[in-house]
Amino acid sequence: DGGITQSPKYLFRKEGQNVTLSCEQNLNHDAMYWYRQDPGQGLRLIYYSQIVNDFQKGDIAEGYSVSREKKESFPLTVTSAQKNPTAFYLCASSADRRAGTEAFFGQGTRLTVV
Amino acid sequence: RKEVEQDPGPFNVPEGATVAFNCTYSNSASQSFFWYRQDCRKEPKLLMSVYSSGNEDGRFTAQLNRASQYISLLIRDSKLSDSATYLCVVTPNSGNTPLVFGKGTRLSVIA
């Protein structure tokens, strides 16, 4: 089945540790995105990538890093510099870089810092 | 003014009711508009795109008013399964910019 897969679904991290969230898509989409959602809040853009080996900061990039070495993969690292990392992280992809193309989401990763 | 604004609700309506949500956007150059649905603790899923001429999909109708910079979603004959959060989504301009999401409007359909 074509789709976008995030793993793991739930992740617990100790304070001070870096952790990497996986996002893979087999839709042949050019663009991929990472959003963060806090309880009762909307989605906030962390990073996005519109082509392999290129990515841009979103609204809340501090404390996060990404890579886009392959078209299918866009992992997000939550570093120890991120002060409030507990949240629901959503990865999305869209067919191309043009405006007007809807995004499709993975099932999300719930990160909890303990 | 925020880029995309929605009434957070909740809208509590009985089954069979008609309910409408509005969403306003600040950037007059915005190009594309969507409604997404998000169930509790799940990912958002595309409900429908919003075209300049408006569009309808079964019980759902979406309208765009560029002059007043808002989009609307009308749900007729509400079902219990319509209970969710509805997210208004806008692409700011014709460049390579990602979607901007509103915070969503919560709908509860009550038996």
* Six token digits for residue A8: 């793991």
pLDDT tens profile B5-59: 999 999 999 999 999 999 999 988 888 899 999 999 999 999 999 988 889 999 9
- Record: contact B99-A103, CB cut-off 8 A: yes
Is the CB of A50 inside 8 Å of chain B's CB atoms? yes
Is the CB of B95 inside 8 Å of chain A's CB atoms? yes
Q: Nearest 10 degrees: CA dihedral of A110, B2, B6, B9?
A: 70
User: Which residues in chain A touch residue B99, judged by CB atoms under 8 angstroms apart?
Assistant: 33, 94, 102-103
Residue B95 confidence (pLDDT) above 60: no
pLDDT tens profile A15-70: 889 999 999 999 999 999 999 999 878 899 999 998 999 999 999 999 999 999 99
- Closest by Cα among B108, B54, B34 to A105: B34
Characterize the bridge pairing of strands A4-7 and A19-25: antiparallel
> pLDDT category, A2, cuts 50, 70, 90?
low
**Buried-state track A66-95, b at ≥16 Cβ within 10 A, e below 16:** bebeebbebbbebeeebeebebbbbbbbbe
- Record: contact B43-A35, CB cut-off 8 A: no
> pLDDT category, B98, cuts 50, 70, 90?
confident
Closest residue, chain B, to A40 (C-alpha): B103
CA distance A3 to chain B (A): 12
The more confident residue out of B92 and A68 is A68
Is the CB of A97 inside 8 Å of chain B's CB atoms? yes
